Structure formats: C-alpha cells, structure tokens
C-alpha cells in the first residue's frame, strides 16, 4: 500500500516533468521567434507552437491528470506527500478547474476572436480610430463576463481575473492600496511638474552606437550578478526575460541609438526578472512551481533592480566610468549629479511604457479602475475613450489629443488580458516594501552598491523571494518579509523623499 | 465511401503534420544546444529533447499509425491517393517496419550502450588507447549484427545498414564503383605527392580576424544564393546545416583565425546543404519527404557548392577582391593563380575531416571496407587498428603513429552509425556526375561564376535535385540526370584533369 502511494507520487511527478519539457520547448520556440528566427519560416512556426501548446493543454485536462489529482488528494495520501508535490497538486487542481469550467467550444471561439481583435487593434491604433476596435473589445468583455460566470467569484467579479495573475489579492485590497497611492501621488506629480528646478537632459539623446550599448548591457548584467553561464542576452523588438529552467534564463533588450536608457534600464529591468528565474531552488525544476509566483512579485524583482539598484545614486557613481567608457564622449562634461537627476527625470506623459517611476502607477490605477468598471458593467465600452481621457486629466494633468496616445496604446485588452495591469503597480509597491525591509537587514546597502559587492543584496532577494518559486503565494512572501500586508506607504515615502529632494519641492 | 477515403487521407496528413511539428521542435532544441544555449541549462535540455523524441518515436509506431498504413494501402484506396501521400505512406511503412522489428528492450539497451560507448571513445581517443574502446565497439558490432538479423537482408548483411542512409544502393554497386575509384586514385595521389611542383601556402595561415571571417561568410553565402530571409548563420564547434522547413534553414560555421579556409569552405559546404533545404517544394512541408532524399544526395549538394563552385578558378577570380577586402592584407602580393593552387592543395593526411578532395574518398573507401568486414565477420574488432593502418599505408602511403590519428579519429562508430560513411564518397561521385551533365545544359557555366550570375546554376540543381525532396530516391535522381547509374568515371576524370594540371604531372 505504502509503495503504491509512493508510486503514484512518482508517476505524477514524472507527468509534471513531461509537461515541463513541453513548456520549455514552447518557451524556446517563442524566444527564437522573437530574437532572430528567419522571417519566411514563421508561417510554419505558429503551427509548431500551436501543436505543442495544445498538447500541453490536453495534458493539464486529461483523465490521467484528473485521476492523479483525485488520488493524491485523498487525505491519508495527501498528508504523506512531499511539500513540493502538495503545492504542485494544488497548482494543477487550480488550472484543471479553470480549464474545465469554461466550455471548450466557447474558449476556442474566444481564441479566434482574440486573434482577430489583435489585428483590429493594430489597425485602429495606427489610424487612431477607436470605433474600429470597439466591436471587438465589446465581445471580449462579454466573453470575460461569461467566463467569470462559469468560473464563479467571491465579492467582486473582477477578483476572478485578478486571481489569474495575482492569486490572493482582491479588489477590496487594491481599492484601498491604490486609493492611498493615488491620493498621495497626484499632488506630488503636480509639484514636480510645476517645479522651476528641472534636469538638463540633452546628453541622454546623443548618439550612442548599438555595439557600445551592447557592451554596456553585458557589463551591467555582470555587475548585478546575472550568471552568463546560465543565461544569455539577445536583441529583440519587445524586450522580455524568459526562464526555461534556472540554468537557462534569457534576457532580451532593444537598442535605441538616440536614447541609451532604453537598453540600459531595459536590460537591468529584464535582468531583475532573470535573477529571480536563475535563483529558483533546483528542487522545483520540472514542477509548475519553477517560475515566479505571480506577475506582481516578478515585477517587484525587475523593478527592485531597475529602481533601487540601477537608478540608485551610489550604483551610478560606481558605474559612471563604464557608462562613459562605452559612450561617445557625451558625458565627459556631465557631473554625476546632473547625470543622476537626468536619468531620474519625472514628468507626466501619455504613454505608459515610456513613463517614469513617479507617474507610472497612475497610468496603472487608471487602467485598473476602467477594467473593473467594464467588468462590473458600470462602464460601457463605447464610453471608454472619454473615461480614459478624463482620468488622464485628473491624475496627470494632461489630456490625449487622440486615442492612439490614449485608450488604444496597449495591446493587453485586444489579447483578452484583463486583470493583468494591476500587477505592474503591485510590483512597485512590493519592491518598495522590500527596500524598506532590506535596509534594516543591510544598513550598508548604499556602500555595497558603491563598492560593487552586490552579492549580499542579491542573496537577500534570493532568500526572501527567488528561491521559493511558486512555493509561497504573493501575500505570504510579503507577510514573511514585512510581517504585514500589501502597503503603499513605503512607495509613497520613497517617491516623496526622492522627488522632493530632486525637484526641491 | 469516397468521403471516408478522403477523410482518412486528410487525417493521415494531419498526423504527419503533427509529427513534423515535433521534429521541428526537436531540431530547434538541437540547433540551440549547439549554437549558444547556456551551459548550465544543458542538463535539463537533454530531458526536453528526450521527451519529445520519444513521443515522436511512439507516434511512428502507434496503433493509429498502423491503422493508417493498413487502410491507406488497400489497393483501391492507395491508387486514389495524391502522389505525395503515396510516397509518405511508403516512407512511414518503412520506418514502421524498421522500428517494430527490433525489440524495444534491446533497442533501449543499445541506446544506453551508445551513450557509454561515446564517453569511452572520447577518453580512448584522448589517450590514444584503442583497448579502452574495444569492448564497447565489440558490443556495438554485435548489436548491429543482431538488428540486421531482426530486420533481414538481401545479398549482403551490410545492405540493410546502407539502406538507412542511401536507400537503393547496395554492396555490389559500391564494391564496383569504389573499386574503380580506388584503382585510379592511388596512382594519382602518388603522382601529386611526388611532384616537384607544390603550391606556396604560408599566406593561408596568416591571422584572419574572426569578425572579418564572419563578414566573408555572409558575403559568400549571399553570392551562392543562400536566402537570409529563410535562414541564418551562426557559430558552432562542429559545423552543420539544419532545415526546420524551407523557410527556416540554419547554417553554422567555425572560425579558425589561423586558417580561414575552415570557415570559408565550411560555410560554402553547409551552404550547399542549405540551398537543398531552402528549395524543397513547399507542397512537401509537413510530410516526411520534406528533407534531403538521402545522406549521399545531400552531400552531393554541399560538395557541388564547395568543389565545383567555391574552389572553381572563375568563382575565386570574381570573389578574390572580397576575400582580400575582408583579410588583413596577407593576400595583397599573392596572385590569383597562387591562391587558387593553394586552396586546392592536395596531399595525403591522417585525419579524414581535414582531407582534400583528391584524397578524401580513399579515407572513406578504407572505412567502408572495414565496416563491411566487421559486419560480415571477416574482421574482428581487436584486429581493426592494424587493418586500418595497413590500408592507410596502401592507399595513401602514410602510416598513423598512434590510434588517435588512426582508427579512433571518428565519432561515428561509437554512436553505432554503421553504413553512414559511404554516403560521403557517394556525395563526391554524384556531384561529379551532376557537374558533367550541367556543363552540357549550361556550357557558359564558368562565365556565370565569373559574372556572379549564379541563378541559372542554382535553378538547375533545384529542378533536378532540391525541389523533389524525398519524392525521388537517389538512384532515380541520378538516372533522371544522367540516363544511367552511379558511376565514378566523372569524378576520376575531373580529379585527373585538375590535379595533373595543377601539379604538372
């Protein structure tokens, strides 16, 4: 009997390993498609990815999976399982439920709609014409509502969507946390905008050759502790980081010769994601737990590195010489102070992905509020552009002149991704909470960045975040670090202190 | 009824498409492993490749496959199938038979042995100690004999092995063709070796920076018509070309800064393989016919490009300026004649992969004769080193001083690949036969290479070889081109004429 139990656990883990092999293959195919696969092969590539992905989906909903889950969740068996297997069972049960509750035919229709909607969105964005996208978005919202109906919800229907990206985080928490944040940020942004003390920044846009930016990216990745024996750096149009397994984590970046910050901070940002993936405990390889535990926690790691390391004054002091060495001489007469102020410039802008750390969360809160209202039915799709523009004006003091720089700017909704945006702001909030705690454990934080001896900081992140992979949920990670819950105060304090100082408010 | 028949054909083709998707995924994983995948991820990579490969094997031997093959081969159904489906059925039946005839357990043991043997071979080669490898090779030969027993054979047991790489080519043909070739080559090599007229060649070994070699490789690939929108060039340790589909064909090369010929001719060689894969008819995509029809025909294309294009005097005349431009000035005082003679230098050497076109086939014939004798039982593994050295002396006039430069030099036998070597020599023979015919259709061949207008030559190869993929067997391709069979005379004539001229025999 004992042996049979153990045997089932072994078979289940082997089944998960097999699924993981498929996931790695699909990952590599995706990485390759986005980094240098020949154009003419792409038509066949989608077929390959489609075949393996649908195989993976079938494995997650197969009778075999159902039997494993049923058997392993019998109380007397479950308690004897290893912790990793227990969490894996829970994870697979959750995705099983989700995948089984939505009728396959309807999900297929949704997939087809998505792909049409993405095309429609692209054209609509190009022509700044929301009406071209509106009917598709209406259908997508309808599908989302229907799916929530199938899946059920507690409290607010939007909670079910949040659960896909940030399990354990609900609307009532977000309303409170985002509400506080908004209240504090709006006057701070206003102060910065109106300040007479603004940075010089022309040197940021001087020609910086691509090859030299690549050199700088490699140097900085090494500086932050990215392991090049367990990863690589490539060029792409839309940068991303991808962990196939902890020994193979791939960072991509984009080189803009008229604005080197795109690659420098893009690389550090993706490098932060990569450090997470490289330092997940080896024992989780081959399970669904071998990855970031949520979108928000993942984003906290990329933002921690980008904001609290990459934009830190001491880090820049240490690395200014290598930045100068790689450049064309444009920084030779620029003081460190001016450089630091310039790369930390903050001002309201229309486009989220170009926003600075001060204004970024307001872009997200706006989207969160609109999504929630669409899902609850308080807002109709046709009224979305005006609602967007009104909020932009209220939060950032600027009003888009057309929908291309407003409601049409992001791809997410056309892909049916609702509930995803909040993770970006949560990442900021989590990162600031971590920063507040790390300073207590490592008071010499700034000195370590100045000396380049970053291992202690990285190890702190590994111990508290990275190594756990999916073994701890987001709220658990935050609780274990801070002793409390999600809280926007550390972020508010950090931004208030930093930008009051920089802009002499 | 009609509809059912068509339905089965459609389902079979979809099944093949699915297999092809797996094959492309495995291909990409392999390419990635050999071109730049991070070292630390490799341990997990083998698991991913293993999972997908074994899935692919299972699909080729599944009940579903058996049913397809049975149903589609009913005479009244078979005759109604498209030509592509017919050939695909034949192809899959052949691999089904092969895979089913060998007991799965024994094949598994063989796989395990192979991997141990490869390690043993590596160590034996490093230490020049054949006795370390001997017991493994003995077992591999035993397995091969047993497998041939299961699979059956006609005429000579070695025919069954040949069939894996060069279907339709048998021992009696090879004995005749290789016999003729050997008889003519031995005295020619002797003449060249003893000639007083030898090329100057020091400039070949002058420093040639890697980046510049890469530039040259790209330029030359474009020159021979490689489509960079349907392929790419990367660096690797053991160069290869890989066609995932005709729109995605990847060439790899190796840069030796002290001998640029390694990359120049390596790239052209792999480029020849790539032209084959890029120009296979689109209608074969997603079937087992979308690839080279045999190892030998594939090699004929790489060798055609390498020898009859890349080493052609007119081609070099046209491209000497770009070679000079990419180099460090080492060719500035070297006449085209001297350069041409140097890159066509011929002399006996121990290592097959470093051999020139004149001596290469003798390396292969030696291996063919030894393999055949091992399989028939006329030769025992323990006597292999002496047999090898004796033949080296007889064919090339040199005797290895240790087994590392003799019997231990190639990886093939440790991988259980018997019957593979003859394809290399067949490639030379086929290529020379094609060259003889192409001159009749395109008498201005040399002028086209001089002007760079190579499309006509490439189209000839596409029409006669590339586009057919696996639709024509090797013998059929040769028959349709020459009206006859495999014949070493064109190769002998080419080599005799060229080397008598170069070495003033």
Dig out the tokens for B482 from the structure. Answer: 């020459």
Please report the pLDDT score of residue A240 as a whole number. Answer: 96
Q: Residue A479: pLDDT above 60?
A: yes
Q: Comparing C-alpha atoms, which of B354, B473, B467 is closest to residue B409?
A: B354
How high is the ipTM of this complex?
Answer: 0.93
Q: Residue A4: pLDDT above 80?
A: no
The Cα–Cα gap between B279 and B409 comes to 34
Please report the pLDDT score of residue A2 as a whole number. Answer: 57
Q: Say what angle helices B83-101 and B2-35 make with each other, to 10 degrees.
A: 60
The reply to whether residue B247 touches residue A43, judged by beta carbons under 8 angstroms, is: yes
What digits encode the pLDDT tens for the residues B364-414? 999 999 999 999 999 999 999 999 999 999 999 999 999 999 999 999 999
Q: Which of residues 13-72 of A touch B (CB under 8 A)?
A: 17-18, 21-22, 24-25, 28-29, 32, 36-45, 47-48, 50-52
The reply to whether residue B44 touches residue A247, judged by beta carbons under 8 angstroms, is: yes
What digits encode the pLDDT tens for the residues A75-114? 999 999 999 999 999 999 999 999 999 998 999 899 889 9
The reply to whether residue B44 touches residue A249, judged by beta carbons under 8 angstroms, is: no
Considering only alpha carbons, which residue of chain B is nearest residue A251? B38
Question: Cβ of B149 under 8 Å from any chain A Cβ?
Answer: no
Considering only alpha carbons, which residue of chain A is nearest residue B24? A48
Please report the pLDDT score of residue A241 as a whole number. Answer: 97
Please report the pLDDT score of residue B2 as a whole number. Answer: 57
The response to whether B156 counts as a known ligand-binding position is no
The reply to whether residue B40 touches residue A232, judged by beta carbons under 8 angstroms, is: no
Contact (Cβ atoms closer than 8 angstroms) between residue A286 and residue A16: yes
Q: Residue A3: pLDDT above 70?
A: no
Contact (Cβ atoms closer than 8 angstroms) between residue A246 and residue A278: yes
A285: left (phi over 0), alpha (psi -120 to 50) or beta: beta
Contact (Cβ atoms closer than 8 angstroms) between residue A470 and residue A289: yes
Mutation target vs B (from A30, A51, A252, A284; most B CBs, 10 A cutoff): A51
Q: Comparing C-alpha atoms, which of A171, A174, A129 is closest to residue A153?
A: A171
Contact (Cβ atoms closer than 8 angstroms) between residue A358 and residue A187: no
Q: Say what angle helices B171-194 and B360-376 make with each other, to 10 degrees.
A: 140
The Cα–Cα gap between A305 and A303 comes to 5
Contact (Cβ atoms closer than 8 angstroms) between residue B91 and residue B19: no
Q: Residue A492: pLDDT above 80?
A: yes
**Which residue stretches of chain B have pLDDT < 50?**
none
Q: What is the CATH number of domain A171-503?
A: 1.10.1370.30
Give the DSSP per-residue string, B177-246. Answer: HHHHHHHHHHHHHHHHHH-S-----GGGGS---HHHHHHHHHHHHHHTT--GGGEEEEE-SS--EEEEET
Per-residue CA distances from B471 to B56, B423, B466 (Å): 22, 19, 10
Provide the number of CB pairs (under 8 Å) joining chain A to chain B.
111
Chain centre to alpha carbon of residue B55: 26
Query: Which of B24, B40, B231 minimises the CB distance to A38?
Result: B231
| Residue B270 is a catalytic residue | yes
Chain centre to alpha carbon of residue A322: 28
List chain B residues with CB under 8 Å of A230. Answer: 38-41
The Cα–Cα gap between A124 and B468 comes to 44
Q: Residue A165: pLDDT above 70?
A: yes
Dig out the tokens for B489 from the structure. Answer: 């005379």
Please report the pLDDT score of residue B4 as a whole number. Answer: 73
DSSP state of B349: -
**Catalytic-role residue among A270, A277, A306, A369:** A270
The Cα–Cα gap between B166 and A18 comes to 35
**Catalytic-role residue among B9, B270, B306, B369:** B270
The Cα–Cα gap between A38 and A34 comes to 10
DSSP state of B306: I
Considering only alpha carbons, which residue of chain A is nearest residue B285? A44
The reply to whether residue B29 touches residue A28, judged by beta carbons under 8 angstroms, is: yes
Q: Comparing C-alpha atoms, which of A361, A347, A59 is closest to residue A197?
A: A347
The reply to whether residue A41 touches residue B232, judged by beta carbons under 8 angstroms, is: no
Q: Which of residues 129-148 of A touch B (CB under 8 A)?
A: none
Dig out the tokens for B107 from the structure. Answer: 């094949």
The reply to whether residue B40 touches residue A247, judged by beta carbons under 8 angstroms, is: yes
Location of structure tokens 């004769």:
B369
Percent with pLDDT over 90 in chain A = 96
Quickly state the pLDDT bin for A450 (edges 50, 70, 90). very high
Question: Cβ of B245 under 8 Å from any chain A Cβ?
Answer: yes
Considering only alpha carbons, which residue of chain A is nearest residue B55? A18
The response to whether A277 counts as a known ligand-binding position is no
Phi, psi of B16 (to 5 degrees): -65, -40
Please report the pLDDT score of residue A30 as a whole number. Answer: 94
What digits encode the pLDDT tens for the residues A215-266? 999 999 999 999 999 999 999 998 999 999 999 999 999 999 999 999 999 9
Q: Residue A348: pLDDT above 60?
A: yes
The Cα–Cα gap between B131 and B290 comes to 42
Q: How many residues does chain A have?
A: 505
User: Hey, what long-range contacts does B482-486 have (CB within 8 A, 24 or more apart)?
Assistant: B482/B433, B482/B436, B482/B437, B485/B173, B486/B169, B486/B173, B486/B177, B486/B426, B486/B429, B486/B430, B486/B433
pTM above 0.90, yes or no: yes
Quickly state the pLDDT bin for A5 (edges 50, 70, 90). confident
Please, which residues bridge with residue A448 across strands? none
Scanning A257-335, the segments in alpha helix (DSSP H) are 261-278, 295-303, 313-326
- Each domain of chain B, given as residue ranges in start order, spans 1-101, 171-503
Which secondary structure element, helix H or strand E, spans residue A176, and what is its range?
helix A171-194
Considering only alpha carbons, which residue of chain A is nearest residue B50? A21
Instruction: Give the N- to C-terminal CA distance of chain A in Å, as an integer.
Output: 72
Per-residue CA distances from A61 to A68, A72, A94 (Å): 11, 16, 11
Per-residue CA distances from B335 to A175, B195, B260, B497 (Å): 80, 21, 18, 22
Q: Residue A1: pLDDT above 80?
A: no
Please report the pLDDT score of residue B5 as a whole number. Answer: 73
The reply to whether residue B244 touches residue A285, judged by beta carbons under 8 angstroms, is: no
Please report the pLDDT score of residue B311 as a whole number. Answer: 97
The reply to whether residue B39 touches residue A249, judged by beta carbons under 8 angstroms, is: no
Sign (positive or negative) of CA dihedral A277, A283, A284, A286: positive
Question: Cβ of B243 under 8 Å from any chain A Cβ?
Answer: no
Q: Which of residues 265-324 of A touch B (CB under 8 A)?
A: 285-286
Burial class (CB within 10 angstroms; exposed 0-12, middle 13-18, buried 19+) of B296: buried
Quickly state the pLDDT bin for A288 (edges 50, 70, 90). very high
Give the minimum alpha-carbon distance from A183 to chain B in angstroms, rounded to a whole number. Answer: 46
């Amino acid at each position: 009997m004992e042996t049979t139990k153990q045997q089932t656990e072994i078979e289940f883990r082997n089944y998960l390993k097999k699924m993981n092999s498929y996931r790695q293959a699909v990952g590599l195919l995706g990485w390759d498609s986005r980094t240098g696969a020949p154009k003419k092969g792409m038509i066949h590539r989608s077929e390959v990815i489609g075949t393996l992905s649908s195989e993976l989906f079938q494995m997650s909903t197969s009778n075999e999976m159902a039997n494993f889950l049923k058997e392993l969740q019998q109380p007397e068996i479950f308690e004897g399982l290893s912790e990793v297997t227990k969490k894996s069972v829970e994870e697979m049960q959750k995705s099983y439920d989700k995948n089984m509750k939505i009728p396959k035919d309807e999900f297929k229709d949704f997939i087809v709609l998505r792909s049409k909607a993405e095309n429609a969105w692209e054209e609509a964005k190009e022509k700044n014409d929301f009406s071209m996208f509106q009917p598709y978005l209406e259908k997508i919202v309808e599908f989302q509502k229907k799916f929530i109906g199938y899946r059920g919800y507690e409290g607010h229907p939007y909670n079910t969507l949040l659960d896909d990206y940030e399990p354990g985080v609900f609307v009532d928490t977000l309303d409170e946390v985002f509400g506080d944040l908004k209240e504090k940020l709006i006057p701070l942004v206003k102060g910065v905008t109106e300040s007479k003390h603004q940075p010089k920044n022309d040197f940021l846009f001087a020609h910086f050759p691509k090859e030299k930016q690549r050199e700088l990216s490699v140097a900085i990745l090494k500086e932050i502790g990215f392991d090049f024996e367990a990863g690589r750096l490539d060029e792409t149009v839309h940068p991303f980081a991808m962990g196939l397994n902890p020994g193979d984590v791939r960072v991509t970046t984009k080189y803009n010769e008229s604005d080197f910050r795109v690659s420098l901070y893009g690389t550090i940002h993706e490098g932060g994601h990569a450090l997470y993936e490289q330092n997940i405990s080896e024992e989780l390889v081959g399970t669904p737990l071998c990855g970031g535990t949520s979108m928000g926690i993942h984003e906290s790691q990329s933002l921690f590195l980008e904001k609290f390391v990459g934009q830190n004054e001491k880090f820049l002091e240490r690395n200014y010489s290598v930045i100068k060495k790689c450049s064309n001489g444009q920084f030779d007469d620029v003081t460190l102070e001016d450089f630091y102020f310039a790369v930390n410039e903050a001002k309201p802008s229309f486009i989220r992905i170009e926003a600075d750390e001060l204004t970024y969360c307001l872009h997200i809160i706006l989207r969160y509020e609109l999504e929630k209202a669409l899902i609850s039915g308080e807002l109709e799709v046709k009224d979305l552009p005006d609602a967007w523009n009104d909020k932009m004006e209220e939060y950032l003091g600027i009003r888009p002149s057309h929908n291309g720089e407003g409601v049409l700017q992001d791809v997410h909704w056309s892909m049916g991704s609702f509930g995803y945006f909040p993770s970006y702001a949560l990442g900021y909030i989590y990162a600031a909470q971590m920063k507040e705690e790390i300073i207590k454990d490592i008071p010499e934080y700034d000195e370590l960045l100045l000396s380049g001896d970053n291992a202690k900081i990285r190890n702190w992140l590994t111990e508290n975040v990275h190594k756990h992979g999916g073994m701890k949920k987001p709220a658990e990670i935050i609780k274990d670090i801070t002793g409390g819950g999600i809280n926007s105060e550390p972020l508010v304090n950090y931004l208030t202190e930093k930008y009051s100082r920089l802009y002499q408010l």
